[in-house]
Amino acid sequence: MIMLAMKKLGFGTLRLPLTRPDDVKSIDQDLFNRLVDEFMKAGYTYFETGWPYHSQCAEDACRKAIVERYPREKFCLADKMPTYNLKKSEDYENIFTEQLKRCGVDYFDYYLFHNLGNKTYKQCEELGGFEFLRQKKDEGVVKHIGFSFHDTPEVLVKILTEHPDVDVVQLQINYIDWENISIQSRRCYEVARKHNKPIIVMEPVKGGALASVPEKAEKLMHKIHPEDSPASWALRFAAGFEGVFIVLSGMNTIEQVKDNIKTFDNLTPISPEENTVLEEVKEIISKSTAVPCTACRYCVEGCPQDIQIPVLFSIYNDAMKYGDINYPTVHYQHAVFGHGKASDCIECCKCEKSCPQHLPISEIMKEIATRFDKEK
């Protein structure tokens, strides 16, 4: 049975604190442990991890911070199968066994196929993916099954119709993407509700973008709630929909954990008046963000040119937003040191196949190359 009474805030481990900002493997374990303690102390229990997070280091970090420090029955752990990476049926078992080992558990409370879409779904069907999930649930090593989803509502209808027994669906829901024609959050949400699926929300703060909104937008929010952070608005928006039972937030400072707990301890849905403010905020943000990348890094591993795609996008966004005031060229040179430059992109489009935001990465690389690599 889904634990609908569970507190709604979930701890996502895609963006853990680092000891070296340019090395995603350098997880600050001590700080992560303290974040977990703060979270658990407030009565929150849901943790979510994934095979590719932090270049395959997040599951180990979860074992150290959560599993080795708290009784198993005191927390819920969700993990995800890297569906897009599989070549043969045996991969399911091999990866699943390794995930149990990395996490140090003998069962997962929630186990999801990661980033399911039209192509990955077809591949999953060919390799017997859903049979594998059901088998693991029958064995008791997975309590609830589901999938995270990044495609059209039509594909979601197909999957849920063909597999009505999945327990949960994980969707990208935030106020920027709600009516976005490429993400189609609202329509996907409506499909999940029609099929009576409890919903886990991912990217409610859009990779942190809705936590630090342009000053003009923040002023509008502060006018109504001087004490509330922009992140709290985004989380309340996502948490307010019927059927949402967990909202994941990647937290990497104690302040963020405390702020999120404050929001969820006193959770109130967005009012019509607040919604009007969010519409204005949306306009301002859309005008100021050149590339809506969420820094999930799913694209990075497969790039044959070793281009740090989300890092370059972040620098490019800053350059577009602030001009030269925060030294974008210096940041760019630092980011490409030892890695591929934007102009090294060979337009193979491998990255685009794994991008949940459907970004035309190779096209954007050309623009970035024009901006930063012109002297080369």
> Cα(200)–Cα(215) distance, rounded to whole angstroms?
30
Q: Are 13 and 58 in contact (CB under 8 A)?
A: yes
CA distances from 102 to 34, 96, 98 (A): 20, 10, 6
Question: Is 261 an interacting residue with respect to ligand SF4 (CB under 6 A)?
Answer: no
Per-residue burial over 132-167, b = 16 or more CB atoms within 10 Å of its CB, e = otherwise: bbbebbeeebbbbbbbbbbbbbebbbebbeebeebb
The interface region with ligand SF4, picked from 106-114, 123-131, 158-166, 358-366 by CB under 6 A, is 358-366
Q: Is 77 helix (H, G, I), strand (E, B) or coil?
A: strand
> Cα(229)–Cα(14) distance, rounded to whole angstroms?
21
Query: Total residues at the site for ligand SF4 (CB under 6 A)?
Result: 27
Question: Is 295 an interacting residue with respect to ligand SF4 (CB under 6 A)?
Answer: yes
- Least gap, CB of 72 to ligand SF4 (angstroms): 32
> Cα(97)–Cα(158) distance, rounded to whole angstroms?
29
Tell me whether residue 185 or residue 229 sits nearer to ligand SF4 (CB atom).
185
What phi-psi label fits residue 53: left (phi over 0), alpha (psi between -120 and 50 degrees) or beta?
Answer: beta
- Applying CB under 6 A, which of residues 168, 235, 247, 293 lies at the interface with ligand SF4? 293
- Applying CB under 6 A, which of residues 26, 29, 343, 362 lies at the interface with ligand SF4? 362
Question: Is 135 an interacting residue with respect to ligand SF4 (CB under 6 A)?
Answer: no
Q: Are 35 and 252 in contact (CB under 8 A)?
A: yes
Question: Is 361 an interacting residue with respect to ligand SF4 (CB under 6 A)?
Answer: yes
- Least gap, CB of 313 to ligand SF4 (angstroms): 6
Q: Which residues on adjacent β-strands are paired with residue 27?
A: 18
Helices 254-265, 29-41: axis angle to 10 degrees equals: 20
Tell me whether residue 159 or residue 355 sits nearer to ligand SF4 (CB atom).
355
Question: Is 350 an interacting residue with respect to ligand SF4 (CB under 6 A)?
Answer: yes
Site string for ligand SF4, 307-346 (x = CB under 6 A): x-xx----------------------------------xx
Tell me whether residue 155 or residue 300 sits nearer to ligand SF4 (CB atom).
300
The interface region with ligand SF4, picked from 57-65, 95-103, 233-241, 290-298 by CB under 6 A, is 290-298
Alpha helix ranges (H) inside the chain? 29-41, 58-62, 90-103, 118-126, 129-139, 153-162, 185-194, 215-224, 230-239, 254-265, 272-288, 309-322, 328-336, 350-353, 361-372
- Least gap, CB of 290 to ligand SF4 (angstroms): 13
> Cα(111)–Cα(89) distance, rounded to whole angstroms?
17
The interface region with ligand SF4, picked from 24-32, 81-89, 265-273, 295-303 by CB under 6 A, is 295-303
- Least gap, CB of 312 to ligand SF4 (angstroms): 9
Tell me whether residue 263 or residue 357 sits nearer to ligand SF4 (CB atom).
357
- Applying CB under 6 A, which of residues 8, 359, 368, 372 lies at the interface with ligand SF4? 359
In the numeric block, which tokens belong to residue 305? 């040119």
Tell me whether residue 228 or residue 318 sits nearer to ligand SF4 (CB atom).
318
- Which spans of this chain sit near ligand SF4 (rule: CB under 6 A)? 293-299, 303-305, 307, 309-310, 345-351, 354-355, 357, 359, 361-362, 365
